[in-house]
Amino acid sequence: MYDNKKNSAYNIVCKKGTCGICNCFCGIQLLVKDNKIIEAKGDKEHPLTKGFICPKGRAIPEIVHSEERLRKPLKKNGQGAFEEISWEEALDIIVEKLRNVKKEFGPEALALHTGQAGVFMQFTSYAERFCQVYGTPNFSTAGSHCNTSKELANIVTVGSLPVPDYGNSKCILLWGYNPQYSAPAQMMYINKGLQNGAKLIVIDPKQTKLAKKADIHLRIRPGTDGALALGFIHLIIKNKLYDDKFVKKWTIGFDELIELAKDYSPERTSKITGISSEDIIEACKIFVQNKPANISPGISLELQSNGFQTARAISILQVITGNIDIIGGARLNKTIPLSPIVMDRKVHTGKPPIGGDKFPLFYKINGRAQANIFSDAILDGNPYPLKAMIVIGSNPILTWPNTNKLRKALEKIDFLVVMDIFMTETAKLADLIIPGVNYLERYEIWNGAIRFGEELMGLSPKIIDTTDGMSEWKFISEIAKGLGYIKEFPWSTEEEALDYRLEALGLTFEEIEKMSNGYEYGVYKEKRYELEGFKTPSKKAEIYSKTLEELGIEPLPKYYEPAESPKNTKALAKKYPLILSTGARNLEYYHSRFRNIESLRNFKKAFEPLLEINPKTAYEEDIEEGDTVIVESLRGSIELAARLTEDLPQGTIYIPHGWDEANANELTDNKELDPITGFPPDRTLLARITKVNK
C-alpha cells in the first residue's frame, strides 16, 4: 500500500497507510522525511473512508514522535525506582519468571491481557496462542468490558454481530451510541443515509448533537433500555407490525416472546423509562414504517447490570421486523478466512479460566477469562491465585472497574509486566516495562466489514522503522521461543507470519502489500440465511435460546432494574440520590490515551476532566459553573470541576473516563456485574456530589 511519491528536492516521501487508533482504520497519507512522519492527512482514494481523518489522525506525527515515548526496557529496583536495562536482559527476566511461576504455581497462575490497542489487531491471536502453549487459560482482552456482551447476545440470537448499513437505510436508530465521538468515520455513511431521506431516532439520556437533529429523541432513564426494547416489541406484536412470513419460517420462540412482552404496555414502559408513552409509540411507528431500518446499540447498553439481555432484546427487535441480513438493515457479514492462529480451545484447556464458572456463556463462546474479577484472584485466591500478569496495550488502572481494589491487587501480584508506548498509571506499578511500537511502525491487517459492512481487507504497512520499541508480535514470539515453544512459533519474521495468515486466501504478503485499495474477500449478499441458515444450533433466529437455557441462563430477554437505582435500591438512593454515568467519550481522546498530546488537549481546550450536570440539579446542590466538586459513590470519591449543561436531564451526572487527575473508575464497581457476561455497570451507578469550598 505504499504510494512512495517522492519530492527529491526536500527528501520527502508520501506514503499511504492506515490509522490504527480506533477500529475505523481510516486510510491516510503520510509525508515522511528521514524516517520521520511530518504530516498526516486523509487518503481520498481509500475505498471506505475516502479522505476522512479525525483530530487524532492528524496528530499522528506528534503521537509517534513524542518525546515522552518509552524507548528502553525499564526494571524496578529495590527502592521502587526504574532503571534502564537491555532488551536481552528484559526478555531473559520474563522467561525466567514465567518458567518459575509455571513450575511453582502451575500455568494458570499467569494472566495475559491485551487492551483496546489490540482490538481487531493480529497480535492478539498470537498472544492467545502463547497462553495456550504455556498452558494458562487466563487470556483476556478489552472484550471483558467492551463490545463482547452485545456480540455474544447477537451470536446467541442470529449467529454473529450485525453491522448497520447506514447508507441504504430508511431509518437509523442510534441506541446509546454516539458515533460522532466514538467512530467518527461512520458519520459519512450516516449522513449519506440521512441525505437520502432516512429517519433518525436517538435513544440517549443526553441530548447529543445527533439527538438534536433527530426526528425523535428519547431521553431514557439510564439502565432501563431493556424495558424500552420490550415496550417496542409489545407495540409491534399488538399491532401486528412484525414480519409475519419471516417470523414463522425463520424464528423460534415467538410465542414465548408474546407472553413476555404483553406486560410492557406504553404506559408501564413509560413509568420505567421516564419517556412519555406518546413518544414511545411515535418512535416505534417511525422505526417499523421506514424499512429497511437498523439499530446501533452502543457500549452504554453493555455497561449495565442487565446489559446482555438488553442487547438480546434489541437483536430480537431487528429480527421480528425483518431487518436482519438485508441491505439497509443489519448486515451479517462473512469474516476474513485467514489461516488460524488460535488453536482448538477444547484441546488446549486445563483448568477453566477465571470467570469460566461464574460466567459460563462468556467462556463457552468467547473462550477467554473475565478480567474484571482478576483482582479477586490476586487478593483472595478466588478461584485460584494469580501470581504473574502481562499487560499489552492497556491501562487497567484507568479503564477497569473498581480502581481502588485493582490497585491493591496489582501492588500485591508477584510479577507484573506492562508493554506500552507511554508511561501510564498501570506501568508505574509494573516490575518491568517493555516499550512498544506505534501501529505505523509495524504491519497490520484491516477489515472493512467491522465498521462499514464491506467485505474488504488490506494491509496497513510499516511506514517508518524504529529501534525505540519492539512490536507486540516480536515480543510474544521472543518470549515463546525463550520458553522453548519453537515448534508452535515457527515464524522468524512478521512477514513470514503474515504469509501464513494469508495462505487461506491464496495470497502472499508481497501481493497484498501492493494492493492499495485492499482485497475483496467477499461480496455481500442479503439473506444468506435462505441458503445457509443462521449460525445458530437451530439454523434459525433464536428468540427463545436453548443455549442459554442449558447454561442455566434466562432464555428470554427479561428486563431487570439496574443493580443500583432509585427504584431498586431506595435506601441507598437516599444517601446517593444522583444517577452517575461514567465513560463519556471525547473526540480528541481515545479511552485513556493521548491526554499528553498538546494539539489534542488544545483541540477543544480539553485540559481537564469535567463533571457534566443539569443547571437545576446544580442549583439544588449550590454548584456553579467551574466549581470544584467531590463526586462520591460506594467505592470511592474524586474531585473535578463542574460544567453546567441543559443537555443532561435533572438528577443525572456524567463523568469522562481515562483521566489520571480524576479517575472515574475509582467510583465504579466490579461486584454487581452483569451475571451473564461479567460486564461492569459503569453507566448506571448512584452517587452524590459536594461542593468544595476553597
pLDDT above 90 (res 457): yes
Amino acid at 445: I
Residue 155 C-beta-side C-alpha neighbours within 13 Å: 14
**Chain centre distance of CA 149:** 10
Contact call for residues 461 and 513 (beta carbons, < 8 A): yes
Please check whether residue 632 lies inside any domain of the structure: yes
Amino acid at 166: Y
- C-alpha span between 523 and 669 (Å, rounded): 43
- C-alpha span between 613 and 640 (Å, rounded): 12
Residues 6+ apart with CB under 8 A from 568: 561, 562
- Shared domain check, 600 and 471: no
Please check whether residue 446 lies inside any domain of the structure: no
Give pLDDT, residue 119: 83
**Chain centre distance of CA 232:** 27
Cell of 123: 497480535
The residue ranking higher by pLDDT, 566 or 3, is 566
Query: Please, what is the Cα angle at 427 between 423 and 428, to 5 degrees?
Result: 90
Going through 8-103 in order, the beta strands assigned E by DSSP cover 12-18, 27-33, 36-42, 74-76, 82-84
- Shared domain check, 358 and 304: no
- Shared domain check, 88 and 57: no
pLDDT digits (tens, 9 = 90+) for 216-252: 999 999 999 999 999 999 999 999 999 999 999 999 9
pLDDT digits (tens, 9 = 90+) for 283-321: 999 999 999 999 999 999 999 999 999 999 999 999 999
- Shared domain check, 271 and 417: no
Query: Please, what is the Cα angle at 653 between 650 and 654, to 5 degrees?
Result: 140
Helix or strand run (H / E) with residue 218 = strand 216-218
* CATH number of the domain enclosing 649: 2.40.40.20
- C-alpha span between 646 and 615 (Å, rounded): 7
pLDDT above 90 (res 620): yes
- Shared domain check, 404 and 293: no
pLDDT above 50 (res 681): yes
- Shared domain check, 308 and 181: yes
pLDDT above 50 (res 1): no
Residues 6+ apart with CB under 8 A from 484: none
What is the DSSP secondary structure assignment for residue 338, as one 8-state letter? P
In angstroms, what CA-CA distances link 656 with 27, 162, 580, 590, 664?
28, 28, 11, 11, 7
Cell of 380: 483472595
Give pLDDT, residue 7: 58
Compute, in degrees rounded to 10, the torsion defined by CA atoms 362, 368, 372, 376.
110
Residues 6+ apart with CB under 8 A from 495: 443, 509
Cell of 12: 520527502
- C-alpha span between 479 and 456 (Å, rounded): 33
- C-alpha span between 379 and 370 (Å, rounded): 16
Residue whose C-alpha cell reads 525505540 in the numeric block: 468
Provide the b/e sequence for 200-209 (b: ≥16 CB within 10 Å).
bbbbbbbbbe
Please state whether 663 falls in left (phi above 0), alpha (psi between -120 and 50) or beta. beta
Cβ neighbours of 620 (radius 10 Å)? 12
Helix or strand run (H / E) with residue 495 = helix 494-502
Residue whose C-alpha cell reads 455481500 in the numeric block: 524
**Chain centre distance of CA 412:** 28
- Structural domain containing residue 598: 570-691
Please check whether residue 211 lies inside any domain of the structure: yes
- Shared domain check, 348 and 488: yes
Cell of 95: 522467561
pLDDT digits (tens, 9 = 90+) for 350-382: 789 999 999 999 999 999 999 999 999 999 999
**Chain centre distance of CA 165:** 20
Contact call for residues 124 and 141 (beta carbons, < 8 A): yes
Give pLDDT, residue 345: 78
Q: Of 186, 452, 225, which Cα lies nearest the Cα of 317?
A: 225
Size (the chain), residues: 694
Residues 6+ apart with CB under 8 A from 522: 333, 334, 455
Give pLDDT, residue 221: 97
Residue 613: pLDDT band (50, 70, 90) is: very high
Please check whether residue 558 lies inside any domain of the structure: no
- C-alpha span between 681 and 666 (Å, rounded): 13
Cell of 548: 442459554
Residue 5: pLDDT band (50, 70, 90) is: low
- C-alpha span between 240 and 557 (Å, rounded): 20
Going through 115-203 in order, the beta strands assigned E by DSSP cover 139-141, 163-164, 171-175, 199-203
Residue whose C-alpha cell reads 435460546 in the numeric block: 545
Q: Is 601 helix (H, G, I), strand (E, B) or coil?
A: helix
Please check whether residue 624 lies inside any domain of the structure: yes
- C-alpha span between 12 and 34 (Å, rounded): 8
What is the DSSP secondary structure assignment for residue 108, as one 8-state letter? G
Q: Is 147 helix (H, G, I), strand (E, B) or coil?
A: coil
Give pLDDT, residue 2: 41
Largest distance between two CA atoms of the chain: 75
- C-alpha span between 122 and 694 (Å, rounded): 51
- Shared domain check, 475 and 372: yes
- C-alpha span between 321 and 395 (Å, rounded): 41
- Shared domain check, 407 and 303: no
Q: Is 254 helix (H, G, I), strand (E, B) or coil?
A: helix
Query: Please, what is the Cα angle at 200 between 195 and 201, to 5 degrees?
Result: 175
- C-alpha span between 425 and 420 (Å, rounded): 11
- Shared domain check, 309 and 174: yes
In angstroms, what CA-CA distances link 17 with 326, 463, 600?
32, 7, 21
The count of structural domains within the chain is 4
- Shared domain check, 678 and 616: yes
**DSSP symbols for 438-484:** -GGGS-EEEETHHHH---EEEEEPP-S--SS---HHHHHHHHHHHTT
Show which of 43, 64, 85 is a domain's final residue. Answer: 64
Q: Which pTM value belongs to this model? A: 0.95
pLDDT digits (tens, 9 = 90+) for 127-154: 999 999 999 999 999 999 999 999 999 9
Residue 444: pLDDT band (50, 70, 90) is: very high
Q: What is the arithmetic mean of pLDDT over 402-406?
A: 97
pLDDT digits (tens, 9 = 90+) for 162-217: 999 999 999 999 999 999 999 999 999 999 999 999 999 999 999 999 999 999 99
- What values do phi and psi take at 571, rounded to 5? -65, -40
pLDDT digits (tens, 9 = 90+) for 59-118: 999 999 999 999 999 999 989 999 999 999 999 999 999 999 999 999 999 999 999 888
Residue 693: pLDDT band (50, 70, 90) is: confident
Residues 6+ apart with CB under 8 A from 70: 420, 421, 422, 423, 427, 433, 435, 436, 468, 469
- Taken in order 397, 390, 335, 342, the sign of the CA dihedral is negative
- Shared domain check, 327 and 347: no
* CATH number of the domain enclosing 21: 2.20.25.90
- C-alpha span between 218 and 116 (Å, rounded): 30
Cβ neighbours of 555 (radius 10 Å)? 19
**DSSP symbols for 296-318:** EE-HHHHSSTTHHHHHHHHHHHH
